[in-house]
Structure 1
Amino acid sequence: MSMSFIKEPKPVHREFELERLILFSDAVFAIAITLLIIEIKLPVLPGKMPANGYWELLQPTLIEFLAFTASFIFIGNFWVRHLQLCRFLQNYDEGLIHRNLFFLFFIVSFPFSTSAILHTSAHFMLPFFIYLCNLTGCLAALFWISYYVFQKKPNLAAPGHHMEKELLYQRFKYGFLTAATGFTCIAMTYFLYPENTAYQRISYMIIPALGIFNYVRLKIKKRNTLRLVHKVEPNS
């Protein structure tokens, strides 16, 4: 009676495969950022035009460039956070691959949501909600990966560095909670008060207010963690 066994990859092979996962992610980030700028083109400039006419002609392009700049900053920030998480990885499994692909889905969606936000108006806020949903999806996926690596499958991460892992995990968690809560409050404000522009504008301040609040919470947690480590070290 013959039996077949699936051979586990050698450590060298698994290290190479983990590098492929990270390099693939970097390529997706690079492509997403590149696609942001492709659609931005200068309008046809006439040979003769009064000085004030150039502003009106270039204003749509400048708005597109501002939207590109904002998305570039967001994608760059997500790449930095992804890099910070990957530096702790020593192994991978299918769960990590699926969660990473889920995160990259929202990264490659940025060119679409960025182009959509340019069609936002006072009476048509759906593109703006699509953009907020894109941001929240990135933060949710990043938190999902960090929870999987640091909490559910800690064997995927390199041993040690417990304080750095915990602080990074808390940062991802607070970031997701900030975006999810803020997005929900803004959407509910537009749903409950569709004609009240004052309430709608105030709702925009929820995300930065929650961001500052959670930033302070994270700083306090980091300070308390450092104090605990310093107390333990002399006794060890």
Structure 2
Amino acid sequence: MSMSVIKEPKPFHREFELERLILFSDAVFAIAITLLIIEIKLPHIPENTPTSDYPALFKPLMNEFFAFMVSFIFIGNFWARHLQLCRFLQNYNEGLIRRNLFLLFFIVCFPFSTSALLQMSVHFMLPLFIYLCNITGCLAGLFWISYYIFQKNPAITIPGHHTEKELLYQRFKYNFLSMATGFTCIALVYFKFPENLMYQRLSYFSVPALMLFNYFRLRIKKRNTLRLVHKGDNS
């Protein structure tokens, strides 16, 4: 009785497949950014419209462009972080593919959540929840990938660079925990105090406060880690 054997792809093929995974991710980031701007159009200006009416006509356009700019910054930042992760990869597996697709799902959702953000003047909390959920999902995806490749499957990363890997993993972990905690705080305050606008508005500051706290926490950890590395090199 003959047995079929599944052969592992040659190293060249694995490298080509890993490159395809990265190129596919780059394409998704690029398309998401493109879709942000594609719906923004100049308003119709009737003939003989006085110049004094221009600010009112262009106000919706300015709001749309501001929302586009904010989302562009977020997507660009997430792409840069994804690039930092990819520079440590030398191989891939099914687990990495699934986690990468999880991140890309939330990247693709940015045009939708950005369009929802433009409805904040009519329905304030729901569009904000959708947008914050989108950001939290992206941070969760980055953290999930970093945990998988640095902590659970370090064999698929290039050897060495232990300090850089650890600091990058800690950054993604703190960013995700800050955003997830802040988002939970906002949701709890809103549902516990649905009529108290002051409490609701104060809860929004929980996200930047937690981000700032974890920024200094990460700096302290980075300084301590580098101090241990230098001490080990000198000994």
TM-score by length of 2: 0.98
Cα shift at 1:158: 0.6
Q: Deviations over 1:117-138 (max 9, x none)?
A: 1112365421110110000000
Counterpart AA for 1:202: L
Distance 1:85 1:157 in 2: 9
2:68 maps to amino acid: F
Q: List alignment gaps of at least 5 residues for structure 1.
A: none
What secondary structure does 2:89 align onto? Answer: coil
Matched, 1:24 2:10: no
Match of 2:78? Answer: 78
Distance 2:108 2:122 in 1: 27
The answer for the alignment partner of 2:39 in structure 1 is: 39
What is the percentage of aligned positions where both structures have the same residue?
Answer: 74
Letter in 2 for 1:14: R
Q: How do 1:142-181 residues align onto structure 2 when only pairs under 5 Å count?
A: 142-181=142-181
Give the aligned residue type for 2:175.
G
Deviations 1:117-169 (A, max 9, x none): 11123654211101100000000011000000000001011110000000000
User: What amino acid is the match of 1:106?
Assistant: F
Change (3 A) 1:122 1:186: farther
Deviation at 1:230, TM superposition (A): 0.8
CA–CA distance in 2 between the matches of 1:39 and 1:123? 21
Query: What pairs up with 1:181-192 in 2 under 5 angstroms?
Result: 181-192=181-192
Residue 24 of structure 1: SS of its match in structure 2? helix
CA distance in 1, matches of 2:160, 2:124: 50
Going from structure 1 to structure 2, the CA distance change for 1:204 and 1:147 (only over 3 Å counts) comes to same
Pairwise CA distance, 1:83: 0.1
Residue number in structure 1 paired with 2:133: 133
* 1:218 aligned partner: 218
SS of the residue corresponding to residue 5 of structure 1 reads: coil
Under a length normalisation based on structure 1, what TM-score does the superposition of the two structures give? 0.97
Q: C-alpha separation between the residues in 2 aligned to 1:173 and 1:50?
A: 54
d(CA) in 2 for partners of 1:159, 1:17:
20
For residues 59 and 202 of structure 1, the distance between their equivalents in structure 2, rounded to whole angstroms, comes to 27
What's the Cα RMSD here?
1.0
Find the aligned partners of 1:140 and 1:26 in 2 and give their Cα distance: 18
* Runs (5+) with no aligned partner, structure 2: none
Query: How many aligned residue pairs are there?
Result: 235
